[in-house]
Amino acid sequence: MKRHFSRLSFFIVLLAMLPVRAFAAQYLVPVGQVIGLQLYNDTVTVAAYDDVLGGTAKNAGLKIGDTIVKINGAAITCAEDVRAALNSGEKELNLTVSRGGKQRELTLTPTQTEDGPRMGVYLRQGIAGIGTVTWYDPDTGAFGALGHGVCDSGGLLKMTRGSAYDAAVTEVKKGKSGDPGQLKGTARSIEPMAPLLRNTAQGVFGVTAQGWKGEALPVAEYAQIHTGPASIRAQTGSGQAQEYSVEILKIYPQTRTDCRNFLLKVTDPDLLSTTGGIVQGMSGSPILQDGQLIGAVTHVLVNDPTMGYGIYIQNMLDAAA
């Protein structure tokens, strides 16, 4: 039977891009705590119709997932640009939207309300969610999360700015065959704990002054990783991250670029009882073996949530450098 897998997602909800230092640390703190991530790009996308005013957008032909490129000829790069267009006094708005890689022209007549003109949609800029912090370098304040990139409909999100937030798990949806589970969470504060500096195919990276406590462990050489017992560090409730037993079933070449360097299976009865295995939101959970940090959880097999893939830790570090 063909196996299907999906990339783990995050609670998706900033500061100028800064130079990223080279990461040559041989000892890192494996974290395993959830974190709120908000990544922005210079696009504004239709996220949902308003329950009351959605007919305005539907009648104009606006669809969920459309990216608003221009309004009345003016480029749209943020929600404030849309607000300015609505407040311009124009009775009709000529929209240029991108849909399926093609641009379309639409005409929308805003609905006048007590709060001003409205388009009848909710807009989204960038992506927000929760993921798991893999490692933290106490010497530099650098950290890495997810083990894979944050993507939008066009592929890897071209992040222009981003922030990390202290977050908490509020609910666990248990995974089952054909229906991946999910960690649901929320930010503890509206104030970011750190800027995000880079979104890459191997993870999201930033620097924080706050950090996470824990014992720093050596980073494993690829030749030291072997099939057999290992553990992952993950947060599945309101408390601290815990270690859960897994088994490394197969090791693939280090040169694989799809964030699948080894196949693992959850064997811990407590984790299986709580989550059913690997669930969305656990992306980035550090994988430990023989007292060393070897990688991070990245994917779950949709038809078997007890199994998933992990990325080799050095591949994450190379992407952050």
DSSP secondary structure of 214-225: S--EEBPPGGG-
Q: Take residue 185 and report the two structure tokens written for it.
A: 């969470």
Strand partners, 288: 231, 293
Residue with tokens 């959830």: 34
Residue type, 126: G
- DSSP, res 74: E
Question: CA–CA separation, 204 vs 9, rounded Å?
Answer: 13
Instruction: Give the Cα separation of 304 and 90 in Å (integer).
Output: 54
Residue 70's CB is within 10 A of a number of other CB atoms, namely 17
Q: Which of 190, 194, 254, 255 is nearest to 225 (CA)?
A: 254
Active site residue 283: yes
User: CA torsion 83→84→90→94, rounded to 10°?
Assistant: -70
Length of the chain: 321
Rounded Cα gap, residues 215 and 237, in angstroms? 21
Whether 268 is a known active-site residue: answer yes
Catalytic residue among 268, 285, 299, 304: 268
Q: Which residues, listed in sequence order, are joined to residue 166 by a DSSP beta bridge?
A: 35
Catalytic residue among 148, 163, 285, 304: 148
Q: Identify whether 148 is a catalytic site residue.
A: yes
Candidate list 9, 231, 283, 285, residue with the active-site label: 283
**Other C-beta atoms lying within 10 Å of the C-beta of residue 195:** 17
- What are the residue numbers of the active site? 148, 268, 283
